[in-house]
Amino acid sequence: MRRLNTVISCYVVLLFLIPQFVFAALSCSITTAAACTSPSAIILRMSAASNAHAELPGQSTAGYASNVVCCTGGTGLGTSCSGTFDTVAKLSAVTNAHIQQNTQSGYAQNACMSVTSGTVSIGYVSGSCTGFDTTLASMSATTNAQMGSPATYTTRICGSAAAAVTQNLSFALSANTIGFGTLSSAAARYATSDSLGSASEIEAHTLSVSSNAASGYAVTVMGATMTSSQNVSNTITALAANTASSAGTEQFGLRMTAAGGVGSVTAPYAAAGFAYAGTAGTASQVAAAGTGDGVSTVYSVRYLANVGATTESGTYSSSLVYVATANF
């Protein structure tokens, strides 16, 4: 009967934060100046709902107070023409003005929409504002134009704003070193966090993963199978497919179960048997989530080792690297 001492060292590669822009944040309507209160912002003021002249948002002409372009959304939405902004329209004067599109020249007054973080964009579309968040207003021509409510003229002033949201990935390993204790060809051994091993299947450690990434995440493992420190040619055979324990036959593998969140275990690690498809140079996916809900999934990891009567004696070990990758 062969006896071998064993240990596994586990490592994780992890936490990074990536800013991502979340769209469909802007909404605009025609209302009164009195009704357009913070955090909404008046982007333009009009003399009427159609065939109207325009006024910059900072003006206060009484006749322009009943038809204002009022917008909400984005982060710190405002009317600054500096920082992160786009020009909604150019005006021939600060009030009682004709307007032109922002690609035209000749008008000196700019009506702008800005955000303190994220993105903002303005476009002009003949018909509906498909691809944009909202319709701000409409205009009668490219330049020297009157303006009106969104349905008044064919050419619409369209807009979008996006708030910058920090998407994240977190990954924790409950124990970095686990072990089987002494292996024997007479019976299977299961790894434990105290490295003493167990004769019964038991959780060796957990992986806790969470992300709010739009397309979830994937977790992989990479590393050579159990290898003798006395002779690297001596190894314990890894199970390429999910296989039940068989005492007296060389076997090394792991399996997982998942609890909480939206993550799930990937084949061949999800069934009742054990497998290990990673190598020193090849990663094997062990778990994944198709979406991110920001809730941790806790993966319980169990390891099996069996040796045969002819397995070479020695001290065997393996270094496994778990990597979590967010799909932003």
pLDDT confidence tier of residue 14, bands split at 50, 70 and 90: very low
**Tally of CB atoms within 10 A around 294:** 13
Main-chain phi, psi angles of 117, to 5 degrees: -155, 150
Across residues 185-193, what is the average pLDDT? Answer: 95
Cβ partners under 8 Å of residue 71, min gap 6: 26, 27, 28, 40, 41, 43, 77, 113, 134, 136, 159
Question: Which of 58-62, 105-109, 209-213, 268-272 has the weakest average pLDDT?
Answer: 209-213
* Residue 328 pLDDT: 75
Asked if residue 268 has a cis previous peptide bond (ω within 30° of 0), the answer is yes
Higher-confidence residue of 26 and 13: namely: 26
* Residue 7 pLDDT: 60
Structural contact between residues 257 and 264, judged by C-beta atoms closer than 8 angstroms: no
65, 144, 189, 239, 252 from 276: Cα distances, Å: 71, 71, 16, 5, 7
Report the distance separating Cα 239 and Cα 278, nearest Å: 10
Say what percent of the chain tops pLDDT 90: 83
Report the distance separating Cα 201 and Cα 305, nearest Å: 11
Report the distance separating Cα 88 and Cα 44, nearest Å: 9
* Residue 165 pLDDT: 65
Average pLDDT of the residues of the chain: 91
* Residue 20 pLDDT: 46
| Domain positions in the chain | 20-165, 174-326
Cα 10 from chain centre: 25
